[in-house]
Amino acid sequence: MQNYNRRHFIKTIGAASLAGVLPGNLMSNPKGKIIWGNLLHLSFNMWEDWDAPGKEMRSYRPFLRFDEKLWNDLLNKMAQNRLNMVVIDLGDGVQYKSHPEIAVKNAWSTGKLKDELNKIRNLGLEPIPKLNFASSHDAWLGEYSRCLSTEKYYKVCADLIAEVIDLFDSPRFFHLGMDEEDTKNQKYYKYLTVRQYDLWWHDFLFLANEVQKGGVRPWIWSDYFWHYPDRFIKKMPKNVVQSNWYYGTKFDKESKAVQAYKLLNKQGYDQIPTASNHSYDENFSLTVDYCRKQIDAKHLYGFLQTPWRPTIEEYRQHHMEAIEQVGASVAALKKGID
């Protein structure tokens, strides 16, 4: 069995070694190809037993919360609105051959996933996998979510990453999540776990390295930067794609989240700014307008919409509106260019 010893790994890998793994064509975005992406959830098991009134949607479920008709309608809607990427949060919604014990009831077979990926590509959409390994959002890992930073944990994570890369036929990116790993975002959890300092960096770099072994670029949420900017700049490899996010409307107020777009650009990180209609419908267009002014074109790969709702009929309108908001920005930008 491969040895995932933490002490050995942290001595042998770091930002410099990660930067040299990827082929040159993956270190840039195809010229003129702006990413217009949308996040869809196969699995919505991101939160550990959420025990707060009014947050029932976030509670773990031992079965797949997913409506296939809505899924198909959303994919077609994305194609119609000229989106070109769908990020799929897989979680425990797949019967992985390496670890079938993770799958919830009614999870997709790997064959079903492959068929859906082919359908997505035929619609002109680029499918990108997402597995969130942050301790704040890894309920989908089942028992392994309580084995963080152990030999067993590293083995399972490596197995899943390798299998997903194979299932997606070596995608351009692999989203690792890694957001909100702190006590504040886990205050309602029955089981709280936080990795700090070198341990967080060790585990993140381990995951990023496993992704890059498959010739794929790691992609993460960037909120770690808000709290520890100096440490982030020192340790974060430049080939990790950054998705900073801000879901409000006060871009003129320049909060830490808003400032991060400019600061990450100044440091030379490639970015896919992330918006959401979670609270405000105008957030996507505001994000596009602001970031096009603040991020150099060579580092601005595109934009990602995140509805943050399970793919079930109850939230059909919310999902449809999220896609329409992206479509409106695509049309507005095309009109401006024409």
State the residue range of the domain holding 120. 6-12+33-337
Residue type, 68: E
**316 with 69: CB under 8 angstroms?**
no
Model-level pTM?
Answer: 0.94
CATH number for the domain that contains residue 266: 3.20.20.80
For 227-235, what is the mean pLDDT? 98
Within a domain: 312: yes
Within a domain: 283: yes
Residue type, 129: P
Q: With pLDDT > 90 as the criterion, what percentage of the chain qualifies?
A: 83
Q: How many CB atoms lie within 10 A of CB 123?
A: 17
The per-residue pLDDT for 240 is: 98
Degrees to nearest 5, angle at CA 222 with 221 and 225 = 155
Span 191-212, pLDDT tens digits: 999 999 999 999 999 999 999 9
Span 255-301, pLDDT tens digits: 999 999 999 999 999 999 999 999 999 999 999 999 999 999 999 99
Span 148-191, pLDDT tens digits: 999 999 999 999 999 999 999 999 999 999 999 999 999 889 89
The per-residue pLDDT for 64 is: 98
Within a domain: 201: yes
Within a domain: 23: no
Span 74-97, pLDDT tens digits: 999 999 999 999 999 999 999 999
The per-residue pLDDT for 336 is: 76
The per-residue pLDDT for 1 is: 42
Q: How many domains does the chain have?
A: 1
Q: How many helices (H) and strands (E) does the chain have?
A: 11, 8
Span 5-41, pLDDT tens digits: 555 555 445 554 565 555 555 567 765 599 999 999 9
Assign 3-class secondary structure to 12-30.
Answer: HCCHHHHHCCCCHHHCCCC
The per-residue pLDDT for 338 is: 45
Within a domain: 28: no
The per-residue pLDDT for 23 is: 54
As given in the structure block, the two tokens for residue 72 are 């198909």
Provide the sign of the torsion angle of the four alpha carbons 67, 162, 220, 197, taken in this order: positive
Within a domain: 195: yes
Within a domain: 26: no
For 230-250, what is the mean pLDDT? 98
Supply the mean pLDDT for the chain: 92
The per-residue pLDDT for 132 is: 98
**What confidence tier does 125 reach under pLDDT thresholds 50, 70, 90?**
very high
Pick from 80, 38, 103, 35: which is nearest to 309 by CA? Answer: 38
**For residue 180, is it left (φ>0), alpha (ψ between -120 and 50) or beta?**
left
**198 with 232: CB under 8 angstroms?**
no
Task: For 163, list phi and psi in degrees, rounded to 5.
Answer: -65, -40
For 113-118, what is the mean pLDDT? 98
The per-residue pLDDT for 12 is: 46
Q: In whole angstroms, how far apart are CA 177 and each of 2, 112, 208, 241, 242?
A: 25, 24, 11, 11, 10
Span 46-78, pLDDT tens digits: 998 766 777 788 889 999 999 999 999 999 999
Where are any strands of DSSP class E within the chain?
35-41, 85-89, 126-130, 173-177, 217-221, 241-243, 274-275, 302-305
Within a domain: 22: no
